Amino acid sequence: MYQIYFLSILANVIAGIVLAFDRMDERMRLHAVFNPEMFKHTGFRLAMGVIAFVVGFLKLLSVTPGTPPVVGDLFPAVAGMLMGFALCFQYYQERTEVTSAAVESLDRVFGRHSANLGMIGAFSGVLHFFLHRVLFL
């Protein structure tokens, strides 16, 4: 389905920019193109997280014509789901003060390394746009 393919690319790129906005802004001056306040707004971050996760999950279930089922779009789908989870987890951390071993271990992966995850996800979205028939991409 080309609709899910397009949504996957768009969600991965935007979620990647949301996660890595500060780091990408230092190098590419994104504030000249995008409104920085929008990318820091918690409602937008949560909505983008939910969208990225749902579209990533749907991407696992749908098949783009010309690619093998599941394996053909595995990396963008997993990247979208991970970025969506990271954005939702960050929203959860901002809203609650609960601390536990599970929350701390998730914070080590999805909190501290969210900028790296965002850059990888945005890059995978761009690569997926240009190299749509490559296996695993």
The mean per-residue pLDDT over the stretch 19-33 comes to 83
Domain contains 97 = yes
Helix axes 21-28, 2-19, angle to 10 degrees: 80
Residues 6+ apart with CB under 8 A from 95: none
Domain contains 56 = yes
Domain contains 108 = yes
- pLDDT for residue 137: 58
Q: What are phi and psi of 115, to 5 degrees?
A: -65, -40
Per the structure, the count of domains in the chain is: 1
Domain contains 74 = yes
Domain contains 136 = no
- pLDDT for residue 33: 82
pTM assigned to the model: 0.87
Domain contains 137 = no
Please tell me the distance from the alpha carbon of residue 25 to that of residue 31, in angstroms, as a whole number: 6
Q: By residue range, what is the domain housing residue 33? A: 2-131
Domain contains 81 = yes
Please tell me the distance from the alpha carbon of residue 7 to that of residue 116, in angstroms, as a whole number: 22
Tens of pLDDT, residue by residue over 58-117, are 998 887 777 777 676 888 899 999 999 999 999 998 898 888 888 888 888 888 889 999
Domain contains 121 = yes
Please tell me the distance from the alpha carbon of residue 117 to that of residue 113, in angstroms, as a whole number: 6
